[in-house]
Amino acid sequence: MLVQSIVTGLLVGSVYSLIAVGLTLIWGIMELVNFAHGSFLMLSMYICYAFFLWFGFDPVFTIPIAAVVLFVLGFLTYKVIIAHIMKSPMLFQILTTLALQFLINYTLFFVAKPTFRTIKVGFWNGCFVYAGIFIDKAMLAAFAACVLGFIFLYIFLHYTKVGKGIRATTDNPKAALALGVNIEMMYALTWGISMALVAVAGAMLSRMLYVHPTVGDKFGLLAFVAVALGGFGSIYGALLGGLIIGVFSTLAGVYAIPWMKLPAVFVVFVIVLIVRPRGLFGRK
Amino acid sequence: MLNKRVRFNKQGSTLALYLGLLILLLFLPRIIQGPYYRHILVFTLMYVVLAQAWNLTGGYVGQIALGNAVFFALGAYTSTLLVMRANVTPWIGMWVGGVVAALVALALGSVVLKLKGHYFAMATLAIGEIMRLWFSNWKFVGGAQGFSVPLRGSSWYYMQWTSKIPYYYIILMMAVLVTYLVHRLDRSKYGSYAKAVNQDEIAARSRGISAFRLKQASFALTAFITALVGTFYAQYVLYISPQSVLIMSLSILVAIIPIVGGVGTVWGPVLGAVFVFPLTEFLRAQLGGQALGLNYIFFGLAVIFVVMVEPLGLVALINKIGQAIRGGRGGAHAGTEH
């Protein structure tokens, strides 16, 4: 039972990690918390739903489409809105991304109606047993997609010119600017990449959950928790934080009361924020 | 001629303006007929009070609370439980709920208010979700289904009426009193301390202001007022559930309204609610039942617009227009400055 919970937790946690990494990228580079993060996740789920509805696509095949669409959306969000509030007081930054959440969620309410929708495809249904442990096929696919997402991100950040530019801007924007890095572009690209990562996570979640305009909010909050656990701005911290939440919430669900799963995570979140605001693995 | 007199008797004319506004508000339900329009009036005023309450902590002290639904729900649940289980009139339950919410705010605040900026915002958001999930699974408070307040027809004791008019006057009274309270606080020592803490906490503390106490006091006051409205809501709608009084969008909405109107000002929350609610409801009525969520879309756009174009909100916009109308040259100068 314990091993089972840990395995399930790690699989679920990988999805949380991917969402959290997007959030921490933005935080790291511009000290801004994107409260609309979960809404972008929800958007990706709707894109998958639409492609399933119209063409019968399995969400796995919609990943590239969703990633591109959300990359563009993220890029534009920065250019059109976020770029103008970078120098505003924190209050306005927080409320702008919150307003964005409102805008996206209720636009979907308006367009898609608050109906609970499901993507039912035969591909990867059920689960298989390995050494006495049940592994859900959809979850394993999600895990695989998230791992691939991380690998892509790692290669991108470490071996491409743009990726290096983003890392340089995160470390020291002024020095990066002096060295000729177009930091405005780096900010916009970070938003794009962050949203593309969210798109991958959303696509994988879309066949496990009901698709609904507010489905993303919970994941947005969970991403905050993962980021807080790992230390704000730290990519590996967010990765680890997501896995910890996955395991912790599964264990809490199994060994305590099922509905306590999420509240337990949030309680830990508040405690971590207060006791160790730099996160469990944060350095600063 | 007229301009001079207006400037001369500025205080007198402002007072006259407020009195005129009050009289208009008193007769508004006679002018505006029909339950639907009166319902909009009641809801608008309800959000005026909720936004004023949020503004005390978010606008003045600068702690951006995103979990005010917790206090709203505490008010609603306390008075409803009291009337259902012990037959206590909501008129008393209201104050009990307020005190409960204020105490919870003090307890939570003693820990959470140490956080700043994003951290405080995220922590309060999480607390709201904890409470929603908890109440959704707690049988004693009705679980996810919540409660229907038992119907008693029109009764003062049970604070419920079949007509909307008594509700209107109750919430109007609350809106006027709370706005007056904020106005007084704004001018008081408390107000200047709060603004000082908001602008530069370290400097304020070095001048001997206990920033933490101030934050706690305003957080408790925010909770108290929010809970009073919670009771009002429960009595008005006569049904409460975690999905109606503990949702995240309520917490966010009460934070967004003051931003649209003008954050950290007395009239910001009023203008924000009055400008946006009737307008969006009107839009919704025009578009019919299909336009679900349209008012919130409008809110989202309004905030983004305000933050990008006029961060001081409608209050500043109206001041500018007022200046332009009042003094030809002076107004023109003020206009070109920006």
DSSP for B81-148 reads HHHHHS---HHHHHHHHHHHHHHHHHHHHHHHTT--HHHHHHHHHHHHHHHHHHHHT-GGGTGGG-EE
pLDDT of B334 reads: 40
ipTM tops 0.90: no
What's the one-letter identity of residue A219? F
3-class DSSP assignment, residue B62: coil
pLDDT of B328: 56
Domain count within chain B: 1
Residue type, A89: P
Could you tell me if residue B66 is left (phi over 0), alpha (psi between -120 and 50 degrees) or otherwise beta?
Answer: alpha
Q: How would you label A211-247 residue by residue, b for 16+ Cβ within 10 Å and e otherwise?
A: bbbbbbbbbbbbbbbbbbbbbbbbbebbbbbbbbbbb
User: Is B121 domain-assigned?
Assistant: yes
Domain annotation covers residue A227: no
Q: How far apart are CA B291 and CA A80, in angstroms?
A: 26
User: Model confidence over A217-239: pLDDT tens digits?
Assistant: 889 889 988 988 888 878 888 89
Smallest Cα distance from A241 to chain B, Å: 16
* Range from A99-108, B24-33, B179-188 carrying the lowest mean pLDDT: B24-33
B window 215-254, beta carbon within 8 A of A = 248-249, 252-253
In a domain, A217, yes or no: no
Contact between chains at A92 and B119 (C-beta distance less than 8 A): no
Contact A98 B256 (CB under 8 A): yes
Q: Which of B61, B308, B310 to mutate to test the interface with A (most CBs of A within 10 A)?
A: B308
Query: What tens digit of pLDDT does each residue of B267-323 get?
Result: 889 988 888 777 777 777 776 665 667 777 888 888 888 888 877 788 888 888 888
Q: Please indicate, yes or no, if residue B39 is contained in any of the structural domains.
A: yes
A96 interfaces chain B, CB cutoff of 8 Å: yes
What count of other Cβ atoms lies within 10 Å of the Cβ of residue A280? 14
In this complex, do B248 and A218 lie within 8 Å of one another by their Cβ atoms? no
**Cβ–Cβ contact B303 with A under 8 A:** yes
- Intra-chain end-to-end CA distance of chain B, in Å: 28
What integer pLDDT is reported at residue B291 of this predicted model? Answer: 60
Of all residues in chain B, the one with the smallest CA distance to A84 is B308
Q: What pLDDT, on the 0 to 100 scale, is given for residue A218?
A: 87
Each as own residue / partner, the long-range contacts of residues A153-161 (CB below 8 Å, 24 or more positions apart, any chain) are: A153/A21, A153/A193, A153/A197, A153/A235, A156/A193, A157/A235
User: With a CB-CB cutoff of 8 Å, which residues 50-69 of chain B face chain A?
Assistant: 58, 62, 64, 66
Q: Does B118 reside within a domain?
A: yes
- Tell me, yes or no, if B88 comes closer than 8 A to chain A by beta carbon: no
In a domain, A234, yes or no: no
Token pair in block for residue A209? 């959950």
Collapse the DSSP code of B225 into the 3-class scheme (helix H, G, I; strand E, B; otherwise coil) and give the result.
helix
Residue B154 structural domain: 34-247
Give the three-class secondary structure for A265: helix
pLDDT score at B4: 47
Kindly report which listed range (A230-244, B67-81, B121-135, B311-325) carries the lowest average pLDDT score. Answer: B311-325
The answer, yes or no, to whether residue B261 has pLDDT greater than 70, is yes
Q: CA A169, CA A268: separation in Å to the nearest integer?
A: 32
Of residues A33, A95, A106, nearest to B255 (C-beta): A95
Check: CB of residue B164 under 8 Å from CB of residue B33.
Answer: no
Work out the average pLDDT over B91-120. 92
Check: CB of residue B122 under 8 Å from CB of residue A228: yes
CA–CA distance, A31 with A84 (Å, rounded to integer): 15
User: Are the C-beta atoms of B80 and B297 separated by less than 8 Å?
Assistant: no
Size of interface A-B (CB pairs under 8 A): 136
| 3 state SS of A126 | coil
Kindly report, residue by residue over A47-97, the tens digit of the pLDDT.
999 998 888 888 888 899 999 999 999 999 999 999 888 888 888 888 899
Strand partners for A130: A133
Instruction: For an interface test with B, give the residue of A91, A109, A222 to mutate (most B CBs within 10 A).
Output: A91
The DSSP element (H or E) to which A130 belongs, if any, is: strand A127-130
CA dihedral of A217, A220, A226, A232, whole degrees rounded to 10: -140
Question: Among B114, B133, B303, whose Cβ lies nearest the Cβ of A262?
Answer: B133
pLDDT at B292: 65
Give the residue-averaged pLDDT of B248-267.
87
CA distances from residue B302 to B69, B273, B275, B276 in whole angstroms, order as listed: 22, 12, 10, 8
Determine, yes or no, domain membership for B57: yes
Is B223 a domain residue? yes
Mutation pick from B63, B112, B118 vs chain A, by most beta carbons of A within 10 Å, is B118
- State the pLDDT at residue A53: 87
Secondary-structure breakdown of chain B: helix, strand, coil percentages, each rounded to the nearest 5: 80, 0, 20
Within chain A, which residues score under 50 in pLDDT? none
pLDDT tens digit sequence for B324-337: 877 654 444 443 33
B92 touches chain A (CB under 8 A): no
Nearest to A33 by CA among A47, A43, A23, A19: A23
Q: What's the structural domain count of chain A?
A: 1
The Cα of A248 is separated from the nearest Cα of chain B by a number of Å equal to 16
Q: Is A128 helix (H, G, I), strand (E, B) or coil?
A: strand
* Residue A239 covered by a domain: no
Tokens of B45: 């005023």
A28 within a domain of the structure (yes/no): yes
Question: Closest residue of B to A95, CA-based?
Answer: B256
Q: Residues of B with CB below 8 A from A96's CB?
A: 303-304, 307
Question: Which candidate from A92, A228, A262 shows the least CB-CB separation from B307?
Answer: A92
Residue A73 tokens read as 């959306």
- Helices (H), strands (E): how many in chain B? 16, 2
Predicted TM-score (pTM) of the model is 0.87
pLDDT range class, residue B338, cuts 50, 70, 90: very low
Q: CA of B306 to nearest chain A CA: how many angstroms apart? A: 9
Chain A residues with CB under 8 Å of B200 CB are: none
In angstroms, the Cα distances linking B295 to B5, B117, B276, B285, B302 are 41, 28, 8, 11, 10
Q: Is residue A39 part of a domain?
A: yes
Q: Cβ of A91 under 8 Å from any chain B Cβ?
A: yes
Residue B252 falls inside a structural domain: no
The share of chain B scoring above pLDDT 90, in percent, equals 33
CA nearest neighbour of B65 among B115, B135, B132: B115
**pLDDT reported for residue B67:** 92
From B122, B300, B308, residue closest to A85, measured CB to CB: B308
Q: Is A108 part of a structural domain of the chain?
A: yes
A102/B256 Cβ within 8 A: yes
Is A82 part of a structural domain of the chain? Answer: yes
Question: Is B112 an interface residue toward A (CB < 8 Å)?
Answer: yes
The pair of structure tokens assigned to B162 is 């079949």
Q: What is the pLDDT of residue B333?
A: 42
pLDDT at B10 over 70: no
CA distance B338 to B336: 5
Domain that residue A73 falls in = 19-212
